[in-house]
Amino acid sequence: MLKIENLHVEIDGNEIVKGLDLEVGKGEIHAIMGPNGSGKSTLANVLMGHPRYEITDGSITFEGEDVLELEPDERAKMGMFLAFQYPSEVPGVSVANFLRTAVNSVREEELSPMEMYRLLQEKMRVMQMDVKFAERYLNEGFSGGEKKRNEILQMLMLDPKLAIMDETDSGLDIDALQIVAKGVNELRGPEFSAVIITHYQRILRYIEPDRVHVMLDGRLVTSGGKELADQLEEKGYDWVRQEFGAGTQS
């Protein structure tokens, strides 16, 4: 589904990602864990084509196709989706209008208003959201948890092949975390893959990863199963620095 080889990324002349390799197969959930400043959010933004970042070396392929020259909307049409750590507020644009535009932009045939309404109602029930949310301006006045639910609602509506979740769990209480996880698990299947970027192990109690990677200083320094997340919870990132260093991968 996703293959990253020897990726090097700079911003304002500073190298943030320093030779990263990652493969995510179809139907796989991968978690990338690491402390602040390790390059996790940079990786998420680069995957979706943020223009601020300069890729100086390496490649990113999605379903075998090189995506480095593609615009973010082109990547979205291929089936890539990014859930933001800090979703933006868009005054004057309702949630329903935003979702209708987003969904129809990635489909070959537009949904009728009735089909769109039924789909929105169905997905809002999954996310335990009041239908009145659809009438509100996008994220304006929403709590942190409501914004994150809205991100996952958008993901359910778009039904992507690959979801990149950039610290979607940050700032969530237990109830909101479980609902966000439910949305991800709703899509889980042989044609859906996800990269979950997080500081903490707690979201992985609700979304079981196939693979866990640890990122330090712009590289993935070690990988393992779900037990690696448990070790990090117990020992912290200093253990990883001492055990593996920032310049090796195993």
At 97-126, the pLDDT tens digits run: 999 999 998 888 888 999 999 999 999 998
Mean pLDDT of 192-216: 91
How many degrees, rounded to 5, is the angle at CA 205 between CA 165 and CA 154? 30
Confidence of residue 248 (pLDDT cuts 50, 70, 90): very low
CA distance 218 to 211: 18
Domains and CATH numbers, the chain: 2-244 (3.40.50.300)
Mean pLDDT of 137-152: 85
CA distance 45 to 115: 32
User: What token pair was written down for 171?
Assistant: 């700032």
Mean pLDDT of 2-22: 94
At 153-188, the pLDDT tens digits run: 999 999 999 999 988 887 788 888 888 888 889 899
What is the percentage of the chain residues whose pLDDT exceeds 90? 53
Mean per-residue pLDDT over the chain, rounded: 89
Instruction: Tell me: pLDDT of 35 over 90.
Output: no
Long-range CB contact pairs, 115-122, < 8 A, 24+: 119/157, 120/96, 120/157
Sheet holding 65-66, edge to edge: 14-24, 2-11, 54-62, 65-66
Alpha helices in 3-127 (DSSP H): 40-47, 72-78, 95-106, 113-126
At 43-96, the pLDDT tens digits run: 999 999 999 999 999 999 999 999 999 999 999 999 999 988 777 878 899 999
Helix (H/G/I), strand (E/B), else coil: 156 = helix
Whole-prediction pTM: 0.87
Mean pLDDT of 196-223: 90
Instruction: Tell me: pLDDT of 246 over 80.
Output: no
User: What is the reported pLDDT for 61?
Assistant: 96
The four Cα atoms 126, 129, 131, 135 give a dihedral, to 10 degrees, of -130
Instruction: Tell me: pLDDT of 247 over 80.
Output: no
User: What token pair was written down for 212?
Assistant: 């866990």
User: What is the reported pLDDT for 249?
Assistant: 41
CA distance 126 to 105: 23
